[in-house]
Amino acid sequence: MPDPATTPSRAIDRVQPQRDQLREAHLGLARACDMSDVSREMLIDGLDLLRAAFEVHVAYAEGEGGLFEELLDDAPTEAAPEVDRLKRDHQVIASTIGRASGLLTEGAGPSDDRLVDVTTELLRLVAQHRRRGAELLYNVYGVDTGAGD
C-alpha cells in the first residue's frame, strides 16, 4: 500500500484553493469596478490581484503534472477539445489583463470609456472561463467546483 506522505496528490484534489483564489480576485475587481467612487489606485490594486491569481491558475492548469495533463490522461477524448479551448482562454485573458494594465499605466482612470470597456470584457472573460473549467471538471470527474459563484 502506498504511503500517503510520499504519494503525490492528484491535481483534481488540489483544484479548489486556486479556483477560490481566482474567484475572490475576480469578485474583488468586479466590486471595485461597480463602486461609484472607485479610484484609479483601487483599480490597479484589483487588477494586480487578479493578475497574480490568474498566473497561479495558469501554472496550476498548464504546468507539468497540472490539471490539464491529468485531464488528458484520464479522459483524452472528452478533455482534449476543452483543454485546447481553456488554453486559448488563458491567452485571451492574459492579453486583456495586459490591455487594462497598459491603460492604467498610461493614466486612464475609472471614467475612461476604454478602461471601462476592457475591464468589463475582462470580467466577462474570466467568468466565462471559470464556467467552462467547472463544466469540464464536472463532466470528467463529477466534481462540482461552484462555477456559478
Q: Give me the residue spans of the domains in the chain.
A: 12-141
> For 113-140, what is the mean pLDDT?
96
Helix-helix angle 15-34:113-141, to 10 degrees: 150
Q: Is the pLDDT reported for residue 6 higher than 60?
A: no
**Confidence band of 148 (pLDDT split at 50, 70, 90):** low
DSSP state of 7: S
Evaluate if residue 97 carries a pLDDT over 60.
Answer: yes
Q: Are 139 and 78 in contact (CB under 8 A)?
A: yes
pLDDT band for 87, please (50, 70, 90 cuts).
very high
Other CB atoms within 10 A of residue 69 CB: 15
6 in Cβ contact with 135 (< 8 Å): no
**Entry pTM:** 0.90
What is the DSSP secondary structure assignment for residue 8, as one 8-state letter?
P
- Mean pLDDT, residues 32-57 taken together: 97
Q: Tell me the chain's radius of gyration from C-alpha atoms.
A: 17
Q: What is the mean pLDDT of the chain?
A: 91
CB 115 within 8 A of CB 108: yes
Find cell 488540489 and name the residue. 14
Grid coordinates 492528484 are at which residue? Answer: 10
Four-way CATH pick for 12-141: 1.10.260, 3.40.50, 1.20.120, 3.30.2010: 1.20.120
CA atoms within 13 A on the CB side of 31: 11
